[in-house]
């Protein structure tokens, strides 16, 4: 097996990686944790990850943490597992800021993180880093859809397999967005997760209200060894099919008006047009997120379930005459169909609101077969 390049750190840096399915709340939770850690006087950096360039998450984290001076880097065109060398490159950039803690968010369609990323890091960079427990986030809607099979989905069984593998490799399972649930619902979902994963710690958290967050952070900062749960077995053919059924679209769109326009109105219009089309095609949504940036400000809108209401960011922007719209869609739809849906929505925006809409970049594809270069099921089996 190839050996990754060397990396030097002046101190041991704690790695907090948090995975979980598309839209489960990873970015929001990591940004909230980072804010808390900075408040405690710790130096933090974050690495985002996506299958393509033009990530919403990088913009969102920068907007959320910009004033705190938290460095944010990204690994694109593949998950951390498959882009291990690029992950090390980006970690090195963050290390230049001398962080105490480096946080990472693997892309939501990723699993086998411990074998593909954590173990190689432990083997090759053991003295430089220590892993905090690896957390997997799940929200209640996805538990009902993919674990309990109580709600309708068009996602095939392979996606449920991927979702379950994400839970299986967690040290800690986080039931996210607990503010949306009644106490008895929280109890029910925690019990379901505990029953399926009796040896794991399961916590309910809300990044929005802060409920459960300090308990989670205590675990992450404890001396408990992390990223210890290696998947004993993962059928890569099934995993690859789970990713391949997703249409994955990242676009950067320049929007100009003859006079200033309201970014929230544009976001709402494009979101509604795409969601209506996805409803008509009966396509399940993993996550549809759009970020508008103009005048040095960003705001965003998210849809994590096709039949849910889209959610706006708390940050708002003043009206602008020009802005960039980043669209990230992960949907159970063939890439060509998804691309047509998005292009049609943008054309309608231009026609209805008299805006000039120019697509600067648009990538639409299904994620490639995962092929992690340093996959190691047992840390002891590699070079020391
Ligand atoms: N009510 C509520 N909503 C939340 C919470 N955390 C995240 N969300 C919302 O859930 C949606 C998805 O959140 P993200 O943090 O982008 O999720 P993610 O897991 O990073 O998504 P991907 O990176 O696309 O997989 C957004 O609309 C968030 O505002 C929470 O604690 N409470
Ligand atoms: Mg995210």
Q: Per-residue pLDDT tens for 232-261?
A: 999 999 999 999 999 999 999 999 999 999
pLDDT at 140: 98
pLDDT score of 381 = 45
Pocket test for ligand 1, best of 17, 24, 25 (most atoms within 8 A of CB): 25
Distance 100 CA to ligand 2 centre (A): 22
- CATH code of 13-242, in short, is 3.40.50.300
Distance 23 CA to ligand 1 centre (A): 5
Rounded to two decimals, what is the model's pTM?
0.97
Mean pLDDT of the 295-308 span: 94
If you take atom 8 of ligand 1, which residue's CA is the nearest one?
Answer: 25
DSSP letter (8 states) at residue 12? P
Q: Is the CB of 54 under 6 A from ligand 1?
A: no
CB-based contact 341:270 (threshold 8 Å): no
Query: Looking at domain 246-365, which CATH architecture does it have?
Result: 2-Layer Sandwich (3.30)
Nearest atom (ligand 1) to Cα of 206: 31
78/52 Cα distance (integer angstroms): 7
pLDDT-derived band at 384, boundaries 50, 70, 90:
very low
Ligand 1 binding pocket mutation candidate from 17, 20, 23 (most atoms within 8 A of CB): 23
Query: Ligand 1 within 6 A of 108 CB?
Result: yes
DSSP string computed for 73-93 = EEE-SS-TTTTHHHHHHHHHH
Determine the average pLDDT of the residues in 165-181.
98
Mutate to test the pocket of ligand 1, among 64, 166, 302 (most ligand atoms within 8 A of CB): 302
Ligand 1 atom having least distance to the Cα of 23? 21
In this structure, are residues 323 and 263 in contact, taking their beta carbons and an 8 Å threshold?
yes
Mean pLDDT across the stretch 66-95?
96
Ligand 1 atom 14 nearest Cα:
25
Q: How far apart are CA 176 and CA 181, in angstroms?
A: 10
Question: Which atom of ligand 1 lies nearest, measured to the CA of 328?
Answer: 24
DSSP assignment of 259-326 equals EEE-HHHHHHHHHHHHHHHHHHTT--EEEEEEEEEETTEEEEEEESSTTSPPEE-S-----EEEEEEE
Q: What is the mean pLDDT of residues 129-155?
A: 97
Joined tokens for residue 213: 């967050």
Question: Where do the structural domains in the chain lie, given as residue ranges?
Answer: 13-242, 246-365
**What are the residue ranges of helices labelled H in 96-148?**
113, 119-124, 140-142
Ligand 2 midpoint to CA 23 (Å): 7
Ligand index nearest the alpha carbon of residue 271: 1
Listed in sequence order, the DSSP H helices in the chain are 26-39, 56-65, 84-95, 113, 119-124, 140-142, 157-168, 183-196, 213-221, 236-244, 263-280, 335-353
Query: How many Å lie between the centroid of ligand 2 and the Cα of residue 25?
Result: 7
SS3 of 224, please? coil
Confirm or reject: Cβ of 237 under 6 Å from ligand 1.
no
* pLDDT band with cut points at 50, 70 and 90 for residue 1: low
Mean pLDDT for 265-272 is 97
Angle, alpha carbons 268-312-360 (nearest 5°): 55
136 close to ligand 1 (CB < 6 Angstrom): no
| Closest ligand 1 atom number to CA of residue 207 | 31
208 lines ligand 1 (CB under 6 A): yes
Crossing angle of the two packed helices 26-39 and 213-221, in degrees rounded to 10? 70
pLDDT at 284: 96
Measured by CA distance, the residue closest to atom 5 of ligand 1 is: 177
Residue given tokens 């593998």 in the structure block = 165
Share of the chain above pLDDT 90, in %: 92
% of the chain surpassing 70 pLDDT? 98
From ligand 2's centre to the CA of 57, what distance in Å? 5
């Amino acid at each position: 097996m190839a050996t990754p390049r060397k990396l030097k750190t002046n101190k041991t840096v704690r790695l907090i990686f948090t995975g979980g399915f598309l839209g489960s709340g990873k970015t929001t939770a990591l940004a909230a944790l980072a804010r808390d850690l900075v408040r405690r006087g710790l130096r933090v950096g974050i690495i985002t990850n996506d299958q393509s360039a033009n990530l919403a998450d990088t913009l969102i984290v920068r907007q959320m943490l910009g004033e705190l001076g938290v460095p944010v880097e990204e690994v694109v065109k593949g998950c951390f597992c498959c882009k291990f060398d690029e992950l090390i490159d980006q970690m090195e950039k963050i290390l230049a800021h001398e962080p105490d803690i480096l946080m990472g968010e693997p892309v939501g369609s990723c699993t086998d993180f411990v074998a593909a990323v954590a173990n190689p890091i432990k083997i090759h960079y053991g003295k430089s880093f220590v892993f905090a427990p690896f957390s997997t986030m799940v929200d209640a809607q996805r538990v009902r859809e993919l674990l309990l099979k109580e709600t309708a989905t068009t996602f095939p069984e392979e996606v449920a397999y991927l979702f379950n593998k994400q839970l299986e490799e967690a040290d800690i399972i986080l039931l996210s967005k607990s503010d949306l649930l009644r106490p008895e619902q929280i109890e029910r979902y925690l019990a379901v997760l505990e029953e399926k994963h009796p040896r794991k710690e399961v916590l309910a958290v809300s990044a929005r209200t802060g409920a459960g967050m300090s308990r989670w952070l205590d675990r992450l900062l404890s001396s408990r060894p992390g990223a210890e749960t290696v998947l004993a077995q993962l059928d890569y053919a099934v995993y690859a099919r789970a990713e391949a059924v997703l249409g994955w679209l990242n676009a950067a769109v320049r929007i100009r008006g003859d006079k200033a326009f309201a970014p929230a109105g544009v976001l709402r219009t494009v979101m509604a047009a795409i969601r209506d089309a996805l409803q008509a095609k009966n396509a399940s949504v993993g996550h549809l997120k759009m970020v508008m940036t103009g005048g040095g400000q960003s705001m965003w809108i998210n849809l994590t379930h096709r039949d849910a209401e889209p959610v706006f960011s708390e940050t708002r922007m003043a009206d602008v005459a020009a802005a960039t719209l980043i669209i990230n869609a992960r949907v159970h739809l063939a890439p060509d169909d998804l691309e047509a849906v998005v292009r049609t929505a943008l054309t309608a925006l231009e026609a209805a609101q008299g805006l000039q809409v120019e697509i600067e970049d648009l990538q639409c594809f299904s994620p490639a077969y995962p092929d992690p270069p340093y996959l190691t099921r047992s840390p002891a089996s590699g070079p020391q």
